[in-house]
Amino acid sequence: MKIAVDVMSGESPPKTLIQGALKAVEESDVEVVLVGDETTIYKELEQHSQSYKQISVVHASEIIAMDESPAKACRKKKDASVMVAGALVAKKKTDGFFSPGNTGATLASSLFSIKRIEGVKRPALASILPTVKGYAILLDAGANVDSDPEHLAQFAIMGEIFVKKILEIPEPRVGLLNIGEEDIKGNELSQKAFEIIKTIDFNFIGNIEGHDIFEGDVDVIVCDGFTGNIVLKLSEGLGSVVMRLIKNEMIKNYKYRLGAYMAKSALRSVKERFNPATYGGAPLLGINGCALVGHGNTGELATKNAILTTAKMARAKLDKLIKKSIHLHTLSTG
């Protein structure tokens, strides 16, 4: 199992990503290909006395920055680390890749070189969210801006397979994010998507609403990429806002130092649960290979977990499973 890691595109320095990769190879038999400026990479590797048989390096001379326009940058910078990492998967040199940088560029690189699975209309970005009871995935979290009902049905199929194989939930409950629980609720898109999704052979629990997302009673949350991206960013933002408000309340009362200390530890553990590092990033589903999109400030732990998650996706042959299910669904709906 070989995973390419773009060590240049994140907000964290290459050093952090390389150290995360070294942790991953220490803890598993996964081989890692570090992609980026080779001088920088070798300089970092020299800091480590141990030799790493599972590590190799592929040079890439350019970097796509966080704020560059993805489509334009990918066309112009063919030798950008994220493009080179994607190409390694396309050429079957690695089984998957991880990039911690510009989400749009990782998507563009994947679509450009790895390409969509035949029959998949739109690949989707799946975001792994913490719930009161465990984890759920939400997709599309922003790979597509406009979607049609059949796209949403495909998101449901791809998400269900991911949750079953990677989060290891045997019978995932699939829900459609909507503005009411009744079947007929919602906008045109969600009403039509409901009609298609209910014919698919999995555990569809129907419409769910905004307040159901974090309760842990649904494992796969399906929505269009516009709604999904707003939900994702809102969740990240609101968690931090609630915590800031609580902190503000706590420090109002100087008498209770112990209470403040205690609350601080509790806040820290909760923040940890909202930390995207557990799985290391958001999988891109629907391409001929495995790709994981990291958060900008991916640290060592997140990098290690991202590599292991990508390897797990590759080991499960997630892309082949998705291809098969999408094909079956297309056959049954014509």
Binding residues for its own copies, total number by CB under 8 A? 56
Stretch that binds its own copies, among 4-12, 85-93, 260-268, 322-330 (CB under 8 A): 260-268
Q: What six digits make up the tokens of 21?
A: 């990769």
Position 239 contacts its own copies (CB under 8 A): yes
Segment contacting its own copies by CB under 8 A, of 22-30, 79-87, 231-239, 294-302 = 231-239
Residue 167 or 260 having the CB closest to its own copies: 260
| CB closer to its own copies out of 65 and 179 | 179
Q: Binding of its own copies at residue 42 (CB under 8 A)? A: no
Largest CA distance in the chain: 69
Report the C-alpha gap between 99 and 106 in whole angstroms. Answer: 7
244 binds its own copies (CB under 8 A): yes
- Using rule CB under 8 A, residue 250 touches its own copies: yes
The correct pick among 101, 149, 186, 289 for binding its own copies (CB under 8 A) is 186
Find the binding residues for its own copies in span 190-209 (CB under 8 A).
Answer: 190, 209
CA distance linking residue 279 with residue 266, whole number of Å: 22
CA distances from 96 to 91, 146, 196, 317 (A): 11, 27, 31, 11
Select 192 or 327, whichever has its Cβ closest to its own copies.
Answer: 192
In this structure, the chain runs to a length of 334
Tokens 């400030």 -> residue: 297
CA-based angle 209:210:214, to the nearest 5?
A: 110
Stretch that binds its own copies, among 76-84, 91-99, 213-221, 296-304 (CB under 8 A): 213-221
CB of 173 to its own copies, least distance (A): 17
Does the protein bind its own copies through residue 149 (CB under 8 A)?
Answer: no
Q: Which residue has the tokens 């891109």?
A: 284
Query: Which residue stretch of 192-200, 265-273, 280-288, 297-305 sits at the interface with its own copies (rule: CB under 8 A)?
Result: 265-273
CA–CA distance, 207 with 227 (Å, rounded to integer): 15
Shortest distance (Å) from residue 282 CB to its own copies: 14
Q: Can you give the C-alpha Rg of the chain in angstroms?
A: 21
Cβ proximity to its own copies, 91 vs 266, nearer residue: 266
Asked if 208 and 181 touch (Cβ cutoff 8 Å), the reply is: yes
Pair of tokens at residue 29: 């038999």
**Burial (0-12, 13-18, 19+ Cβ within 10 Å), 324:** middle
- Contact positions vs its own copies (CB under 8 A): 131-132, 142, 145-146, 177, 179, 186-188, 190, 209-215, 223-227, 229-239, 241-246, 249-250, 253, 256, 258-263, 265-267, 269-270, 273
